[in-house]
Amino acid sequence: MQNINGGVCAPKGFLANGIHCGIRKNKSKPDLALIFSCADANAAAVYTTNLAKAAPLVVTREHLKDGKARAIICNSGNANACTSNGMEVAAEMCRLVADQLDIDASDVVVASTGVIGQELPIEPIAAGLPSLVKGLGDRSIKAAEAIMTTDTKLKEIAYSFEIGSVECRIGGIAKGSGMIHPNMATMLAFLTTDCAISSEMLQKALSKDVDATFNMISVDGDTSTNDMVVILANGEAKNTPITTHGPEFDTFAQALNAVTLHLCRAIASDGEGATKLLTCEVSGADTEEAAKKVAKSVISSSLVKTAMFGADANWGRLICAVGYSGASADVSKVDISLCSAKGSVLVCKGGIGVGFPEDKAKEILLEEEVVIRIDLNSGTAHATAWGCDLTYDYVKINGSYRT
């Protein structure tokens, strides 16, 4: 497997573009993205667990019942959620795209991101679509820019891999900075691959993968109304189609995981106002579920996040999060270490604090990436979660989000 350039356009037969159509007042910010497969494609998706699902998710879920899609349209600046005409607008977006691309409206995935509760005007989208379609090409970066809201960094990645002796490619773009919390998805991610794989196996691969990637990140504890991950597979690599479990499916799953892992780490590190990426590695759990609960509990704790922001080795907050995680764990066996490029320091052994050099701990926690290692010493299961620190800027950004 090799890291390559191109994002969602790295796989054969995929085009993309992004423009400013007028949804956002700032004309320097693109606000409408399109990804198009030149050939028929199988599709799979996972959606937010929030009961207040935005209209685009409802429309997309209906369109993907047959496991097929050709295009993804996404706007930023407005979530098209919790409004009286949301379904009509989402459906109209699909119809407009279908007319421009000469495909079926049911083969269009629609997504939106931005402010909740404000009606999304269809006029700028209708006016901008001809230009958006005309500019389709090797423009994954343009599409990635157009789906950003409070993101400060573009999120794009691609890999090549082999199925048999055939080179296949997989790429992705994502957005996510705030309103990020486990239980899928946790943001928007659009993935493409030219690997030939059935809709059923594509869904199995994606559903399993998100449990160890996107469902294991948290920025602020809020699960959005609009979150989803979608993948299109057009088979243009011409490998023998993957229709069952086996070595080929495992290879595809590994490539998918490489893309999603990169994107979820990028989202966690770009949390609103964040200054550092936090990784919580839990080992020695009696079950994988217990390991996941502990890792997510620690990474989601506001008190842990603020301690990390202040570079304060307040390990009591860490063991507290272990204790209320709901996992089956014997706190009297827990060991905790804090690590970064500056080294590692043991702060807790057998559930009890140990003497450690505060100046060394401070130096470790001042790094841009900090790893919290927790050994439950009760089994062999493990899990990893990703998040970020909680800063003053998070409050500033969200205190005036609409304005």
Cα of 53 vs its chain's centroid, Å:
17
Beta strands (DSSP E) in 48-127 are 68-78, 108-115
Structure tokens at 174: 């994502």
Amino acid residing at 339: C
The 3-state DSSP composition of the chain as helix, strand, coil percent (nearest 5) reads 35, 30, 35
Which residues make Cβ contacts (< 8 Å) with residue 173, sequence separation at least 6?
7, 8, 140, 143, 144, 147, 155, 156, 189, 190, 263
């997309």: which residue's tokens? Answer: 60
Which one is catalytic: 48, 113, 186, 192? Answer: 186
Residue 186 appears among annotated catalytic residues: yes
- Buried b / exposed e across 1-32, counting CB within 10 Å, b at 16+? eeebebbbbbbbbbbbbbbbbbbbeeeeebbb
- What whole-number distance in Å separates Cα of residue 180 and Cα of residue 218? 5
CA 311 to chain centre: 27
- So which residues are the catalytic ones? 186
